Amino acid sequence: MAAITLQQIQEDPDRKDIFGILNEYIQPESTTSAGQATFAFVESVKVADEKFFWAFWDDIFNVAEQIPHDNAAQDKLAAFIRELRLGPETGEKVWDARVWIDLPILSAAIREHLDQVDVGDARISFHAFLARLFHAGVTPATETTAIWILRDALEKEVKPADDESAFDNDLAIAAMYIEYAGATLVRKLALNPNPVLNNDFRRLLRGGELWEGSGLTVDRWTFWGKRFEELADTATSEETKELALHAAQLIVAWFETQLSK
């Protein structure tokens, strides 16, 4: 794995510590553990208030977007966030969430950032990171994001000729949630294959024009697998085609081993 040089998009001397710590920690040759990196960072923080956390999550997302989705540095970054939850109990709260245990403002920061990432590799990397956070048990709310992304990419009629780059990008991003969080999604399915949803969640997790139903169900899971395989033939880039086919294969394999019994 090649070394990665992070760039701080917003030059702020009060926030340089996070980039310095992460720039050392995520390197392939680094011997610093996630726990050591988070301890060093927490020790460097002077004030952890609302303003700090909005800026902090923006920085973390910026770092994730600079790392290719299949680079091990993404796993290290997700482990860094997971370890933050084991930080010292300070007695402080932001938005009624404990610092650091509850990772204040993370879900809100994710929602705000979803529409701010341009189409391209950065957007793929950002969603790969979100999928890893969900898989790491850091933010259960990411399951909702995963269903939205998979719905938008797979549950509607698509015309890639209208915008080939956007089509490929949407398909690749959907594949990220299978590649990096699929094992967690399928475990949840195995425990509750046909969830009962209240009206709010039924509306929130509703299907697209090609799927009637709502929530994460076994039937919807197998439908996604078929759509990944179908749309792979329409992808204009070989990389997107490979990602879609691999997602389809994973869905089938997990269905056969964990959901069909």
**pLDDT, position 182:** 96
**DSSP state string for 86-119:** TS---S-EETTEETTTT-TTHHHHHHHHTTTSPS
Q: Tell which of 138, 161, 187 closes a domain.
A: 138
Mean pLDDT per block of 10 residues along the chain (261 residues) reads 65 66 89 93 90 92 93 95 89 93 94 85 95 92 92 86 79 97 94 90 93 94 97 93 98 92 68
The number of domains in the chain is: 2
pTM to 2 decimal places: 0.93
- Asked if residue 1 belongs to a domain, the reply is no
Residues 121 and 21 in one domain: yes
Residues 13 and 101 in one domain: yes
SS3 214: strand
- Asked if residue 205 belongs to a domain, the reply is yes
- Asked if residue 179 belongs to a domain, the reply is yes
- Asked if residue 154 belongs to a domain, the reply is yes
Structure tokens at 3: 């070394």
**pLDDT, position 20:** 84
Q: Tell which of 138, 167, 196 closes a domain.
A: 138
**DSSP state string for 112-169:** HHTTTSPSSHHHHHHHHHHHHHHHTTS-TTHHHHHHHHHHHHHSS---GGG-HHHHHH
**pLDDT, position 13:** 56
Residues 134 and 154 in one domain: no
Whole-number Cα distances in Å, 71 to 9, 27, 132, 179? 21, 11, 12, 13
* Domain enclosing residue 54, as ranges: 8-138
- Asked if residue 59 belongs to a domain, the reply is yes
- Point out which residues pair with 214 in neighbouring strands: 206
Burial category of 198 from C-beta neighbours within 10 Å (exposed 0-12, middle 13-18, buried 19 and up):
exposed
